[in-house]
Chains A and B, each alone.
Chain A
């Protein structure tokens, strides 16, 4: 008698996989990486590589020590590495970046159960821990074209210039769009971030609601507050956050309605922090706060099943 395989239906599966999704995300991040190398020199590339390698090694070793199934091949650690690097100034010492990677991968992701289980975006927690621990390093951004080897020239980001009232340091909106201004590695060039957004939407990796709700809310508040709308949209980590971090699967609501609430919430918090808080930027904190609210949003935006009756018949 022939041996036949049995298994639950369905007997065909889509060719999609976690690895493929993460690969597309990495591809979507590449244009921005290329732009950051152009603006900040090879150190942008080295820092990104350090972060990716550190994240992957941390995940590999942690899985080895805790005898868990090896998950490095799903590429999610590599994605975290790239996104974390994008949140750092190009001249940050490597060991600090590695500390950020440890916070992101080991503390935030793996200790909470690994991929899909973490409550907060690893890269964001990594960034926040670095900002709080090494405030001066994390707020000294290299000025475009001003970095070569160990020689570092630093300057203000557009948002900190606005906060400090140094209006002459604020770049033109054109410079903001193409990214030739101070800032962390991957946040400066709006053009390539939009290319990344397009790639993610084209391959249906992310739901369009989150980034549009987030950026739309920021633009709306900026408009009624009488600020420069284009500046507010292009400045700081907003586009990087809206495209790559507020769309993280694990830490954002599942349904479209939930994602809308999440995006609007992020937008409101970001603008409150930009306008009233003492720090110039609020993207990371607003996404983190909304990450924490995600289980509640999920609970109250549960879709209504087709043909649902109000009362469940008691079976017992």
Chain B
């Protein structure tokens, strides 16, 4: 079986630029919801002095990850940010001072067994760095009896246009990635690992293969450079030929999927104890003069990043994440979170006009999940819950390939998004 996919322009103009480190901004706004799951509660008060890496927020909930200060300075306010999905959460504003000290608490964790390893990963504040932001410690504390995992799948596909932050991880610190893989295999007792990289990144493949010389149990899989090869179900299928059934997790087929940058971070944390409070991201877009990869403290506002980006004209659209699945923000004061792998800013916007569907079928030829996006659109327009379920709208991963290819410029992917919300509303009898 060959999964459908779509050829996208790459725009990877930042690929060969060395990662730069952004100086500490004047202030950071750290949202209390940096991940999928329960938001954290602050453990510091307004007026407290915090140092980089110090724990500032935590939660008792299982699906959550602690948050650390990304700069040294004073907590000046507690505010509310309305986040990209329309929900709002608490946020701490920290004003930076000129001393950028590292917190005294930071020391490498002591790890002897699986439990200690999982606790260390939780303490590090690690979340999935590919974009979804699922807390890593939740992913690795799967039930070993019910769902034994025998393969670690490292996601280095980075299939969205523009984004090159994982690519830079491979080029600049492939040793950390390999070390991270070994740590995960050792403490979680996973015999095999496979690194999936798109074939249009030969340097990354060569680099990781060089690091893997003499290692056994870890292989590199070159993926066809098509979108969306980095989607979880697609990646697991392409690397292991295992099919994750609808509604199931990768652990149901014995796989654990982690982003390459997450794996590399875990390696660094185990060595140094430095928690996750920075983020490597790609800064690009049609009005960015010099596209680059930068490391920024979590909580830096978009506005400060743009000063750094030397844009050639006023931005009319700013996207957090890739152009296919990222969210357009309404305000330049929105802060960066742990999960942002790219910031894209665009100039003059042309509103596309939707015309009638001509049934050309292109949307179905690119759908990795083998759905009929045009049939789903009809079903949603008719608010037909049974038809939506019959056509399996629940398996749509909102990759946006259907909207991309549509010659009538219809927002098909958005309709699927709405359809899923509609089904939830129907299930809760709210419709």
Contacts and interface: CB of A to CB of B under 8 A. Distances in A.
Given A8-B417, A10-B403, A74 B344 contact: no
A8 to B, nearest CB: 4
A306 B395 contact: yes
SS class of chain B's interface: helix, strand, loop or mixed? loop
A1 B331 contact: yes
A220 B403 CA distance: 40
Contacts of A154: none
A312 interface: yes
A303 B1 CA distance: 13
B82 interface: no
Contacts of B245: 307-309
Interface of B: 3, 8-9, 161, 233, 237, 243-248, 314-319, 323-332, 344, 346, 349, 352, 355-362, 364, 368-372, 374-375, 389-392, 395, 398, 400-401, 403-409, 411, 413-414, 417, 423, 426-427, 429
A11 B374 contact: no
A71 interface: yes
A16 interface: yes
A76 B355 CA distance: 13
A4 interface: yes
B315 A2 contact: yes
A207 B246 contact: no
B349 A9 contact: no
A74 B413 CA distance: 23
Nearest to B359: A249
Contact of B372 (A17, A117, A302, A308): A302
Contacts of A304: 370
A223 interface: no
26 contacts: A4-B330, A8-B403, A9-B325, A9-B398, A12-B324, A14-B407, A16-B405, A17-B407, A18-B407, A71-B356, A74-B355, A76-B358, A116-B358, A116-B359, A249-B359, A250-B359, A303-B370, A305-B395, A306-B3, A306-B369, A306-B395, A307-B369, A309-B245, A312-B390, A316-B426, A316-B429
B246 A11 contact: no
B374 A254 contact: yes
A26 to B, nearest CB: 15
Interface in A269-305: 302-305
Interface residues of A, number: 43
A227 interface: no
A67 interface: no
A23 to B, nearest CB: 11
SS class of chain A's interface: helix, strand, loop or mixed? loop
A14 B423 contact: no
Contacts of A305: 246, 369-371, 391-392, 395
A95 interface: no
B191 to A, nearest CB: 24
Interface of A: 1-14, 16-18, 20-21, 71, 74, 76, 114-117, 207, 249-250, 254-255, 302-309, 312-313, 315-316
A116 B356 contact: yes
Contact of B328 (A5, A13, A76, A316): A5
Q: Which of A12, A76, A315 neighbours the largest number of chain B CB atoms within 10 Å of its CB?
A: A12
B243 A8 contact: no
A205 B372 CA distance: 19
A7 B328 contact: yes
Given A5-B317, A8-B414, A306-B233, A21 B360 contact: yes
A114 B405 CA distance: 22
Contacts of B329: 4, 6
Given A6-B328, A249-B360, 16 more contacts: A4-B329, A4-B331, A9-B328, A9-B398, A10-B403, A10-B413, A11-B326, A12-B324, A116-B356, A254-B372, A255-B361, A303-B371, A305-B371, A307-B243, A308-B392, A315-B427
Q: Which of A6, A8, A308 neighbours the largest number of chain B CB atoms within 10 Å of its CB?
A: A8
Contacts of B390: 312
A143 B8 CA distance: 51
Nearest to A255: B364
Nearest to A294: B359
A127 B237 CA distance: 49
B324 A4 contact: no
B404 A13 contact: yes
Contact of B358 (A8, A250, A315): A250
A92 to B, nearest CB: 29
A207 B237 CA distance: 27
Leading 8 A-B pairs by shortest Cβ distance: A10-B400, A8-B414, A315-B427, A305-B392, A254-B361, A6-B328, A10-B324, A16-B407
B366 to A, nearest CB: 10
B407 to A, nearest CB: 4
Contact of B316 (A5, A249, A254, A309): A5
A302 B362 CA distance: 15
A254 B359 contact: yes
A246 to B, nearest CB: 14
Nearest to B417: A8
A306 to B, nearest CB: 5
